[in-house]
Amino acid sequence: MARILVIDDEAPIRENLVRFLALEGHQVLQAVDGRLGLEAIRAHKPDFIFCDVMMPHMDGFEVLAATHADPALRGIPFVFLSASAEPEKLEAALQQGATGYVTKPFNLANLRQLLATQLAHLPPAV
């Protein structure tokens, strides 16, 4: 399956998502803030990133910008997790290159479908 990075400063949300993804058969990495998340992206080059928007040290938009600034990381699907359902946030996320935006609390069936759709567009592993 895929190597997925979950970046979220809210431990209960992060841990539940990590547990869910692991039960789905994925290799899951996690980071507790944006700065550590960016370090994990660079070190592990995950197949997929779930990232909270509001976090200490670097917010999700800063993590996304740094990821897209690096040609080796630019193609990684990047989905925001946020408690904010404001249309402006969703629009800004997609305009800046995010491949999705999921509001908290999230529905696991919808998350599974989103992930399957995103991963289907990745090139096969060599």
pLDDT reported for residue 105: 85
Residue 125 lies in a domain: no
What pTM value is reported for the model?
0.92
Q: For 25-75, what is each residue's pLDDT tens digit?
A: 999 999 999 999 999 999 999 999 999 999 988 999 999 999 999 999 998
Full domain range(s) for residue 45: 3-120
DSSP tag of 9: S
Residue 45 lies in a domain: yes
Question: What is the domain count for the chain?
Answer: 1
pLDDT reported for residue 59: 94
Instruction: Report how far residue 57's alpha carbon sits from residue 49's, in angstroms, rounded to the nearest whole number.
Output: 18
User: Which tokens in the block code for residue 120?
Assistant: 């289907």
What is the band of 103 on the pLDDT scale with cuts at 50, 70, 90? confident
Instruction: Report how far residue 73's alpha carbon sits from residue 102's, in angstroms, rounded to the nearest whole number.
Output: 21
**Residue 109, phi then psi, degrees to nearest 5:** -65, -40
Instruction: Report how far residue 56's alpha carbon sits from residue 91's, in angstroms, rounded to the nearest whole number.
Output: 22
